[in-house]
Chains A and B, each alone.
Chain A
Amino acid sequence: MKRRDFFKFLGISAIATSIPAAAKTIKPKVVIIGGGYGGRTVAKYLKIWAGDSVDVTLIDKDKYFTSPILSNLVLNGQKNINELRFDYSKTRSKYKINFINKTASFIDKKNKRVFFDNKNFINYDKLVLATGIDFIKTNNYDFNKVPHAWIAGEQTLLLKRKIDNLHNGDTFVLTIPKAPYRCPPGPYERACVVADYLKNKKHLHVNVVVLDENDDILVEKESFQKAFDRYGIEYKSNAKVTHVDDSHLIVTYEQQGVSKHLKAALLNVIPNQKAAPIVINSHLTDSSNFAPVDLRSYESTIAKDIYIVGDSHKSTQPKAGHIANVEAKICADAILRSLNGYELYPKPKTNSACYSPLSSSTATWLTAVYEYDEGSKSMKKVSGGAGKESSKNYKEMFNWTGNLFFDTFG
């Protein structure tokens, strides 16, 4: 199919100059950028709750989404990455959602258009950005030499290969960014899973060093501390990465005003984070580098009719996939209320759940409930807790992901 036909097929005018005035659609058009945890759920629930009365188009630069959730288990060989990949066939056929496999390059807020390049665009009545995160690098270095593996896919496989190339006596350094970052327990979880794999599966003596820019283990401290001790992981807090030398694999960090260097056989720097480029370039963020929104709807407080869910938005909620799925439903419902002339639901609630594997057969969990607080216009935690490391939790983890994957991608 030629590009032009493809756009015609989707009912989109492909060429800026050729849009007839009468081409205005009757059905409201919701366009969603990003088909991960947030975006896929917004699209699906718009259709479940409003059916043919709304026209839904999902845009993603990739042909399939690779779930970061469970991706640490690719590193220790407990999961095959194919099990974490979700294409768009069901999204399209089951829910009649249009899918455009392109990178959205910029937003024309005034004319309500998303451009793919200088010419091709799609119109929207409501636009949702569920575009995840981007990284703030300390200096210009190569992610192929120093992988982050914090957006899952090729990076995950690359880190796995590098882990499998480690030898006795090597040093593996993992660095943890300053909060807020995607998945608070994730880096601690990774340190444990990798240390367990190297020690108990590969029978290697590799020094595992964790440099954390935060002043302590952020979540589930007791469980992670115990596991760190068990694996002999060297944990340094208040350690801010200042430079990454990708050819000699030396990380420079600052601790209590003193600059130190560490040479590694494998460096896994998880950089500090910000909203995805299109959110930043569209001037939808504030000084936090994330997008402020009305947390009853996820509509931007900066631009009307643009909504931001998931890791790109700014709030007290963790940047995580389970909660992005819940935020997405609140957003979908709020969009439908707005399109149909109803008031917003005044006190939405969200929840977060997260299982963290600590070895190839044990896991912990962390959960919370958040509620919209009118006074502070923020999400307040109203309940929360954590479960200890056990093999039972490891099995339960897959009961959780099975339903979460299904509710998001199925």
Chain B
Amino acid sequence: MKKNMILISAITLTLIGCGSSTNGHSNKEYIKDIAIPPTTNSYKPDDGRLLASACYGCHGTNGVSVTKWDSIAGEDELYKEMHEKKGIMEIQAKGYTKIEIAAMENFLKRLPKAEKEEKDDEHEKEKDDD
């Protein structure tokens, strides 16, 4: 599985200007190399994969974050992770059953862990958001 991973240079979020395109603004923060599993040539349903995909809006496609927020690819302690966070995550955690979380974890843990990045204000995030 890991071997078949293809490294795809992620996201262009290409800047299309009207006239000059850069204006000194850059989307560099989002430009990273992200591994995305190869596209298969057949479809097999996977309930855990479907449920887990609802996390990607905040944690990145296939659980690989491109911001300071946590990656969840390779996560094998999902229930604990979900329940020890405050803020948005605390409310999200309340919305899922143990069975659903187990199904999500069963999918996520098989994905290769994303490289840990230096996350400067990561600790701040653990604290209450309010």
Contacts and interface: CB of A to CB of B under 8 A. Distances in A.
| A is bound by B | yes
Interface of A: 44-45, 47-54, 63-64, 80, 82-83, 85-87, 89-90, 94-96, 322, 325-326, 329-330, 333, 336-337, 339-340, 342, 345, 348-351, 353, 365, 367-369, 371, 382-385, 387-388, 390, 392-393, 395-396, 398-400, 402-410
B95 A383 contact: yes
Contact of B92 (A82, A89, A367): A367
B5 interface: no
A200 B51 CA distance: 44
Contact of A404 (B37, B39, B57, B129): B57
Contact of A388 (B58, B68, B100, B130): B130
Contact of B67 (A63, A96, A398): A398
B59 A403 contact: yes
B30 A402 contact: yes
A221 B34 CA distance: 39
A197 B13 CA distance: 27
Name A's interface SS.
helix
Contacts, number: 185
20 contacts: A48-B61, A53-B40, A82-B15, A82-B17, A82-B22, A82-B25, A326-B53, A329-B53, A336-B45, A340-B45, A351-B54, A367-B91, A368-B91, A371-B95, A387-B129, A399-B68, A402-B67, A406-B13, A406-B30, A406-B61
A390 B92 contact: no
B58 A339 contact: no
A221 to B, nearest CB: 16
B40 A50 contact: yes
A351 B92 contact: yes
A296 B46 CA distance: 15
A383 B60 CA distance: 22
Contact of B58 (A49, A86, A403): A403
Given A83-B27, A369-B95, A406-B10, A333 B56 contact: no
A402 to B, nearest CB: 4
Nearest to B38: A51
A336 B43 contact: yes
A177 to B, nearest CB: 25
Nearest to B66: A406
Given A85-B15, A86-B14, A339-B43, A365 B129 contact: yes
A350 B54 CA distance: 7
Contacts of A384: 91
Nearest to B53: A329
A387 B87 contact: yes
B94 A409 contact: no
Contacts of B17: 82
A43 to B, nearest CB: 13
A384 B91 CA distance: 6
Contacts of A90: 11-12, 14
Given A47-B39, A85-B14, A405-B11, 6 more contacts: A50-B43, A53-B40, A329-B54, A353-B58, A398-B67, A407-B57
A125 B51 CA distance: 26
B69 A399 contact: yes
B54 A383 contact: no
Given A53-B41, A53-B42, A393 B58 contact: no
Given A383-B94, A383-B95, A404 B11 contact: no
B97 to A, nearest CB: 9
B16 A87 contact: yes
